Every structure is written in C-alpha cells, then in structure tokens.
Amino acid sequence: MKAKTALPVGYEAIQDKGWWLAHRFLILRRLSQAFFLLLFLLGPWFGIWWVEGTLAGSRTFGVLPLTDPFVLLQGMVAGHWPEMTALMGAVIVLAVYALIGGRVYCSWVCPINPVTDAAHWLHERLGLQKGWQPKRHTRLWLMGAVLVVSALTGVVAWEIVNPITMLHRGLVFGIGFAWALVLMVFLFDLFVSRRGWCGHLCPVGAFYGLLGTGSLLRVSASRRAACDDCMDCFAVCPENHVIAPALRGQGAATPLILSPDCTNCGRCIDVCSVDVFSFTHRFDSHIEAPKPPRPEPVANKPAAGPIPEG
Amino acid sequence: MSAANAPMSPQRRRFLTDTARMGAGCAVAGAGLAWLATDSRALPAEALRPPGALPEEDFLAACIRCGLCVRDCPYDTLSLAELGSDGPATGTPYFTAREVPCEMCDDIPCVAACPTGALDPDLRNIDDARMGTAVLVDQENCLNFLGLRCDVCYRVCPVIDEAITLEMSHNDRSGHHAVFAPTVHADHCTGCGVCEKSCVLPEAAIKVLPVRLARGSSAEHYRKGWEEQDNHGAPLVDGLIDLPDRLPGPGTDNLAAPGGFEPAFTVPGAGQ
Ligand code: SF4
Ligand code: SF4
Ligand code: SF4
Ligand code: SF4
C-alpha cells in the first residue's frame, strides 16, 4: 500500500484544488436532488403549482407530461395499454436518460440516494465490514422478477414496495408508514450490505442502467497517465468496478467509463487531485500524454499542518 | 465415451450454481411480492374509487399512483392511500363518502387529469359514473322509515328523483300517517356519496357501497314476463290459460268470486 492511500479520501484533492473543486459535483448533485424534490413540494408547501404529481407521473406547467417508464412498463405487462399522455411522458423520460445516462436518475434525482449515501457515510465512519455483497447483476434479476410478478398478478408490482416513489409520494402527499421502508433501506445499507440497495438490489436502478447503456454523456479517465494510485476514486465511487477498465487500461484501450453502472455522479472527478477524470461524450476517447510531475506539495505548502485523522 | 462422466468444468459449475442461486433468490422475492400484490387487491368497502375508475383488477394495472387526479379535484375529495394507514393499495386514489363525497363536477377534472386511462376518458357525462351504489342499510334508524320527514338524503342527491325517490306507504305504527321511504334506483345512482355524507344520524343509515357489495345480479336466462309481453305485444307462450289469482287472507273463495274477495257480508237488499 502506498503512503498516499493512507491519507483520508479526498484530502489531497482539497489540498491541491481547493475545497470547492474537490466537492463540486457532490454539492451540485445535492443541489440537484434538493431542486427536483423542491419542484414537487412548491405546490403543496407554497401553493406554487409548477410541477404536479409525483416521480411516477407528473405534469409541469400544466402541459409537459413526464412518466416513469419503469412504472408504466409494469402496467403494460400487467395488461393495461396506457393513454397517450402517459406514453408521451415516458418517451420523453426515456429519451433524456438514454442521452445523459440512465443512472443519472440514481445520482442526481432519486430521493433515496441521499438516504443510501448517508448510510454509506455512517458505515465508513463506524468502520463497519462490507457485509453481504450480492452480485451486481442481482438487480437485473430482480427487475425481471418484478416484471414477471406484474404480468402474473396484473398489478403494478414494484409500486407496492418501491421505497423511491413511497418516499417521494410520502413527502408530497403524506407519508403513512412509508418512512419505515426508507428506514429499512438505510439500515440495510448501514449494517447488512455496504452500498447494498442502490449498488446491488434496486430494480429501478437496473432499469435505468440498461436504459443508459449507449448514453452520450460519459466520464473519461483521459489523463490516466497522471494517476498516482491514491485509490480515492475507488473509495468514493458507488459502483467502483466501473473505474478499473478505464483507468487501468493499457495503451490505446479506451479511457471512457462505458459501463452502464456508472451513475455519472462525478465524484471521481472531485476527489482526484491530479484531475484524471472529466465529463465528456462517448466518442471522445482521446488519451492525454502524461504531464511532467507536479512539484512536491511540501514545497508549495510549508504551512500545511499535520494530516487530520479520519 | 459419454460426456456425462467427464467432470464439469469449474466455470460451468460456478455459472450453474450462481444462476440457480439467483433464480431461487428471485423466486423467493418474487413470491413475496406476488403475495403483497394479490393482497393489495382487497379494497375496503368504504373506500370508493374516483369517477370512471376501471374495475379494480384493471385499475391496479393501470394506475401509476401519480396523484394528478387528487391534485385536480377542486373539492379535495380524493386522496392517495398511505402505506399502512389507509386500506386501498398504497398510493392509489380513493375517497370516503362520509368524509368528503364526490361533487360530480360537470367537466370531471379528475378523469381529465389521469395520464394513463386508469380513470376512463370515455366517461364524458358524470351522471354515467358508477363509483358505487347507495344502499339504505338501516331502516330501523332511518328517520324517514320511522315516519318522520327528514328527507335529507333525497334532497341533496345531485340526481334527485331519479337516483333516489321517496316511496310513500302506510305508517302501520301510527295507523294514520305515511312513511316516505328513501329508495335508491341503482340504474341512476352514481355513487357520489353526497347522501351518505349528509345523513343526519351519527352513523349514516344510507351508505354508498361498492357495486359488488350493493347489488345482486339477475341470472342471464331470466326473463320478466311482463316486460317480454310489452315488447312482444302478446304472451310469449301461446295458449296460456289465465288462472284466477288466489289471494291470501280469510274469506277468499276463488270459486265464489274468481280473482278477488268474496264480500265478508252483504248489504241486505243489495243485488236484488
Ligand atoms: S465512475 Fe465516477 S461518475 Fe461514475 S459512478 Fe463512479 S464516481 Fe460516479
Ligand atoms: S368529479 Fe369532481 S368532485 Fe368528484 S372526484 Fe372528480 S374532481 Fe372530485
Ligand atoms: S391520475 Fe390516474 S394514474 Fe394518476 S393516481 Fe389518479 S387514477 Fe392513478
Ligand atoms: S350516492 Fe346518493 S346522492 Fe349520490 S347519486 Fe346515489 S343516491 Fe344520489
């Protein structure tokens, strides 16, 4: 293990790039999550009805319909052919996420993400074991099972337990006991399985992942030559198996993170002190030549105090 | 040289066990979910669906639980069922007549709002809605049945004189008053629940029930002779002998007085 891997995650990035650049996408992402939630809450809380409905289906400014395609798909296999409005809403959502990456929904919109991120943060703080780690593609299987159950029972099956829409609907319309489900997800991620829910089980994430298989917006490790093996990106990435092929690729191997599991959260861009990663499009596979090594940080920052613990 | 004796390659074995494990896991999770899904079909009797709602089985496949119908209802009639605290399937729209009934808006905004067709856009006239059927469930407490003139359920009905009428009959208790029985005619009742909401009793004597509970059904092969005769212009079966009607009670003698009572006494001198 290199000495650098022993530094707290993101420490170097803060030292070298400053706090903002080392947290930029994290902050933007939290703002985005809050923004999308607030859009729905403006109505019930302040009487400003710009957006009505829930994540499952909504109407913006009285005209723009948006529908969750996975919910609609379950309804369709359950035997109902929806009206035009819902279909149009789903097509718009499909098109947007196919373009920017399906799992952008997971990291920039989904209200459960802050919950599982909080669970992960606490998990790390408490130094817990990673626990049960089902295979990543378990969620694909679950997605299939959800569709089969919808078809067999004629009910939009996942909506009976879906913590995402439960939490969202709960905040917008009234929560009932849905908070218990959310708490279950939190505890599951905290004690049973590190990053278990979003990373391994959630069939909604699986659906959006599939949807973003060919998405345009991608993270590229184009400056991978500069990588100093601090491992911080692996530590922060919620789907860290996606990084290695791009970062450790040799020669002309693409530096693009092409796995549909990548959530385009941009956290790897934040924590990399040597700016290996950047957002780009999927056809931009250029690899930057290594830069001359940067000067020793000690020379730049003689005043830097001892490294804080934890 | 059979391949069956050859040891399975480790990759193949791993693949097969992984697949089996995943399949079994999904079967367990799926069975649990299917159980919940089946369970969610049980709609409590006091929960009514919005106007135009598809039959419950279809509705649960169609409704995406977006809440737009709830938002567009001007009377705040509808709400989305909350997990664990309300009966209907989580997140689906419903109303309780005794709390806030449906005011039967002419433009049916809830149906217009529904993006999926879970509320049938073919419902254009709110009078055709069948959210349930009102039933006067408690004649023993209904004030009108007791011989008073409450009439409230009748007067508030948006389809007054069609969905609900007052049927007059003799008041046996007082002997010289009438009973005005509120009587629902299911063909016209929309199930809006205004009558149930307005019933003055602490617990409504008239209640809107889901149609499946409120109504029986006639067997398909039953024919009502009198209707058939009207349509046909003549009895359906020719050569039917019209037997005299035998009436109950004392003093009936069909032979002496075919089709009716024999007078209990005769006025002296009459018929002479
Ligand atoms: S690779 Fe980067 S952008 Fe993709 S999920 Fe991991 S940290 Fe987020
Ligand atoms: S008809 Fe009017 S009052 Fe009745 S549920 Fe629809 S919007 Fe509400
Ligand atoms: S608007 Fe339609 S899909 Fe949405 S909650 Fe109401 S009935 Fe369900
Ligand atoms: S529910 Fe009651 S008020 Fe409404 S139409 Fe039927 S009888 Fe009339």
Residues A255, A205 share a domain: no
pTM: 0.85
Residues A223, A167 share a domain: no
Residues A233, A205 share a domain: no
Mean pLDDT confidence for A270-298: 81
- Higher pLDDT among residues B185 and B252, named by residue: B185
Residues A255, A165 share a domain: no
Alpha carbon of A306 to ligand 4 centroid (Å): 78
Residues A255, A225 share a domain: yes
Residues A251, A205 share a domain: no
Q: Is residue A309 part of a domain?
A: no
Which residue of B29, B61, B90 is in closest CB contact with A145? B29
pLDDT attached to residue B58? 95
pLDDT attached to residue B228? 85
Mean pLDDT confidence for B184-206: 97
Residues A148, A26 share a domain: yes
Pick from A162, A191, A211: which residue ends a domain?
A: A211
Q: Is residue A265 part of a domain?
A: yes
Residues A231, A123 share a domain: no
Q: Is residue A4 part of a domain?
A: no
Residues A245, A150 share a domain: no
Q: Which amino acid residue places its CA nearest to atom 3 of ligand 4?
A: B157
Dihedral angle of Cα B216, B122, B68, A159, to the nearest 10 degrees: 60
Residues A224, A205 share a domain: no
Residues A274, A179 share a domain: no
pLDDT attached to residue B249? 57
Q: Is residue A262 part of a domain?
A: yes
Mean pLDDT confidence for B193-202: 97
β-partners of residue B171 are: B177
Q: Are B62 and A67 in contact (CB < 8 Å)?
A: no
For residue range B137-162, what is the model confidence (pLDDT) as tens digits? Answer: 999 999 999 999 999 999 999 999 99
- Higher pLDDT among residues B265 and B103, named by residue: B103
Pick from A182, A211, A240: which residue ends a domain?
A: A211
Interface confidence (ipTM) of the complex? 0.87
Residues A206, A62 share a domain: yes
Q: Which residues of B touch A145 (CB under 8 A)?
A: 26-27, 29-30, 33
SS3 string of chain B? Answer: CCHHHCCCCHHHHHHHHHHHHHHHHHHHHHHHHHHHHHHCCCCCCCCECCCCECCHHHHHHHCCCCCHHHHHCCCCCCEECCCCCCCCCCCCEEECCCCCCCCCCCCCHHHHHCCCCCECCCCCCHHHCCCCEEEECCCCCCCCCCCCCCCHHHHHCCCECCCEEEEEEEECCCCCEEEEEEEECCCCCCCCCHHHHHCCCCCCCEEEECHHHHCCCCCCCCCCHHHHHHHHCCCCCCCCCCCCCCCCCCCECCCCCCCCECCCCCCCCCCC
Q: Is residue A42 part of a domain?
A: yes
Alpha carbon of A218 to ligand 1 centroid (Å): 9
For residue range B251-264, what is the model confidence (pLDDT) as tens digits? Answer: 555 555 555 555 55
Q: Which of A170-179, A182-191, B50-59 shows the lowest mean pLDDT across its residues?
A: A170-179
Q: Which amino acid residue places its CA nearest to atom 3 of ligand 3?
A: B63
Q: Is residue A129 part of a domain?
A: yes
Nearest CA in chain A to B82: A176
For residue range B124-140, what is the model confidence (pLDDT) as tens digits? Answer: 999 999 999 999 999 99
Count of structural domains, chain A: 2
> Which residue reads 């109407």 in tokens?
A59
What is the domain extent for residue A248?
Answer: 218-281
Pick from A155, A190, A211: which residue ends a domain?
A: A211
Alpha carbons A124 and A129: distance in angstroms, whole number: 9
Mean pLDDT confidence for A193-198: 94
Report the CATH number at residue A267: 3.30.70
